[in-house]
Structure 1
């Protein structure tokens, strides 16, 4: 049985959806509580052979408060992703439909917590509110300005395998939402890594984000302590306070290719989709380039 999330009261109007599990409260003002268990981080689900909380990546031996590219083994191997303010300075690294994963310093690294290569692992820092939308159910809006490249939140949930993802997707009724994100990473020479994250039963604020064909967030796989990536969402442009936060369920953000092609093509180096049941559902993002339907990855069903 999926437990009700127990929300703590912030004031007479708002509750903290995370019940204190986040450093920053996730505001929520609805009386009807969503039935899921809040977790700031990924958890091990059916079919997942690696515990996402297990430290499996090597660390650097830097003794400074913040690592530098010349001496840090993490930065020399994977490159510097963030600037000194902790933002992504080069969004072109995503290459439209293709993205390069980010590696942060981890628990085995000797550098301090203030290292500029530690961003996503610090958890939610932005002030967010889960709210009702006019025609898309729940959504998430920013309560503060967020400059381009700012880490906003994770899309966290149960990490499951392909078999379980397929089973859950096929069992969905037409009136139910399926929150599964499938991320496929190509490392060259035919090496493909697939990660399936489902926050329907266990998840965080990211599960409430809506799709947009012209989104203001982009998703990147970020590896911290584990080989299992965290699905991190960053500001794809400057975002204003009280603006709804959205991302493209097909994995893109620059809309350089048609949505239908994005959600069926399997040979891009990094690929993602969130599906809403086996039936195509109408998209209500109201963007000028709206594709008309939510992205659907039929390959997960095969």
Structure 2
């Protein structure tokens, strides 16, 4: 029996053992979540306790219900004999012989056993209580914006895809940013730890906005090798790693004799003495023993839970997902998690750790034929450290020092030595006719501007909130964002000056095979991070139309009058019981046609290519300069962008004007996206 039992409720007299109403395993993987959003707040505790009074253990995933025999067969993970590279004798501290075919199924969302040729589900107890809540969740999710995936069906929760995974991650980070903004506006006591990441994760997990809830061995649908995450809870909401704190995720598989744990994924984040020098080999240290806890006495690690699961997976030869924790090149206090693909455990042993206690070691080898992930990070770090040179490097800094962060120029495709000549300048250039004429002034703050300050005119223009989080991440798309400008007396480190700080990531202009020159970053980019401004000469629409007859300049023009695909990026107010009417629209409010030409001069933004599924979006920003209002176009990351990923945005479609067709301006699109419209411009 699980938990405490009231023996007075047991039936008296003889029991008819032929009637089994419910069968429930001793160790249940069901999450113990609040029954309503008004339940107790999320508490970050170790996965196996101890837990504060009034709280239950937290496991993010609910086992699937009513899993049929057919569905298990359709999605089973078939164990195979390990390849030759794994056929060598294996050293193991405990490795009894196990029949690989005994009751092992790769998609074990529930414990499944065999008896007399029948398959029965051991985790259906409690399903009635969850059915009512499940329908409520579907109704709630279906009411979200049409620009997100409309609703998350039970199948999409169990079996995601790329679109669903992307939608869940965007919705999570949008909520996290809003919660961070709300916390920044509060006056909290000193020493209080704010964890908007955990609060947002708890809300999404409770309301069912998640995917891949069925635990499985091997790849997770919709998650690609090289994907990056800035919070551990992101791994939970997409089903990549269900433990919010523990480094080993596992589940039990039912054999003929007993249930045994099977390792599904590990997170190597540097908490132990993990050896990660080789990009294809990871020596992983087991969990437990308090080896990394200064407040507790160290002890020998035990062969239980995750450690036992890794040992059993060594004998089974099943695939294990590996997520590596890396230091963020932009913010040294931040850790980035990169999904490095599938590994197999080759051997295990015991050794003395730095604490003098015994620790388990597991050697994992990356399966061949997978795209690079961790290897890309290692290569970039070697470039930064000067340990190896960048192949195809033409210029180490094409800005000639105009930017505080250099922008390299690279061509490892052909012999072209660079793009056509242009003048690099980091600030947009206005003509007299393009300036806003109305007088304006900045704030009167003498220190950093504070959200909620009724005397700060810049904050009041932004509805009392700072549009950015404390670490400079954009919270929401707005019709217009008002920053403090050079005319404002507040300090230069005021966090309401994000788009004026210049480049914050190490960018690279590189040659593509079929799209000319393009832009990407050496550093990982968090969703909402400012990337660059579109810089060039602001021109009027008449001059733009005259230049348009030349045909070439379309590649180097940004035009706010074009038609852009709408998309949902902001958080859903209903998730935190906010009134929709208090939230501004995501439609932009440009006071006049704003056109920038970077044909003859500009910055790195001129090299960003079009995509029908972009990872960058533009946001209008205003601030005061020389007592005049300046309008700027700032680019922000739409989602987390891994290193060396091309940066793209939507070029939009030119409008038909005065009955004249603009079809001659449309160009063939080569973005390769599943949503590609075939043309742009």
- TM-score normalized by structure 1? 0.75
Unaligned runs of 5+ in 1: 1-9, 94-98, 251-261, 267-275, 297-302
SS in 2 for 1:194: coil
The 5-angstrom pairing of residues 63-74 of structure 1 reads 63-71=446-454, 72-74=456-458
Q: Which residue of 1 aligns with 2:530?
A: 151
Note if contact 2:434-2:539 (Cα within 8 Å) is conserved in structure 1: no
Q: CA deviation at 1:143?
A: 0.8
Match of 1:107 in 2: 486
Q: Paired residue for 2:548?
A: 169
**Partner SS for 2:518:** strand
Query: Of the candidates 217, 238, 257, which is equivalent to residue 616 of structure 2?
Result: 217
**Within 1, Cα distance between the matches of 2:605 and 2:438?**
23
Deviation per CA, 1:155-205: give whole Å up to 9, x if none. Answer: 1101000111101111225xx654221114975xxx951111000101100
RMSD: 2.8
**Quick check: which one's strand share is greater?**
1
User: Structure 1, residues 124-174: CA drift from partner, whole Å, max 9, x if none?
Assistant: 12110000112100000111011110000111101000111101111225x
Relative distance call for 1:61 and 1:180 in structure 2 (3 A) is same
Residue 232 of structure 1 aligns to a residue whose secondary structure is strand
Farther-moved stretch of structure 1 (31-40 vs 65-74) = 65-74
> Cα distance 1:227–1:277, how it changes in 2: closer, same or farther (>3 A)?
farther
1:206 is matched with 605
Partner Cα separation in structure 2 for residue 229 and residue 41 of structure 1: 12
- In the aligned structure 1, how far is the partner of 2:636 from the partner of 2:399? 20
Q: 4+ residue runs of structure 1 moved beyond 3 angstroms?
A: 10-14, 54-57, 184-187, 262-266, 276-279
Q: For the residues of structure 2 that align with 1:33 and 1:293, how far apart are their CA atoms?
A: 23
Structure richer in helix, relative to its length: 2
Give how far 1:69 is off.
Answer: 2.6
Looking at structure 2, the residues matched to 180 and 278 of structure 1 have their Cα atoms a distance apart, in angstroms, of 16
Q: 1:263 to 1:166 in 2, by over 3 A?
A: closer
Tell me by how many angstroms 1:206 deviates. Answer: 0.2
Match of 2:498 among 119, 132, 146: 119
Secondary structure class of the residue paired with 1:109 = coil
The 5 Å alignment of 1:1-302 reads 13=393, 14-30=395-411, 31-45=417-431, 48-50=432-434, 57-71=440-454, 72-79=456-463, 80-90=466-476, 93=477, 99-172=478-551, 177-184=554-561, 192-225=591-624, 226-250=628-652, 263-264=654-655, 278-294=664-680, 296=681
Residue 135 of structure 2: aligned partner: none
Q: CA deviation at 1:66?
A: 3.8
- Give TM-score, length-normalised by structure 2: 0.35
Offset from partner CA, 1:182-232 (integer Å, 9 cap, x none): 114975xxx951111000101100000000000000001111235341111
Shift of 1:51: 5.7
Corresponding position of 1:299: none
Q: Distance in 1 between matches of 2:530 and 2:671?
A: 22
3-state secondary structure, aligned to 2:618: strand
Structure 2: runs of 5+ lacking an equivalent: 1-385, 412-416, 562-586
Aligned to 1:255: none
Q: 1:62 to 1:222 in 2, by over 3 A?
A: same
Alignment-derived partner of residue 4 in structure 1: none
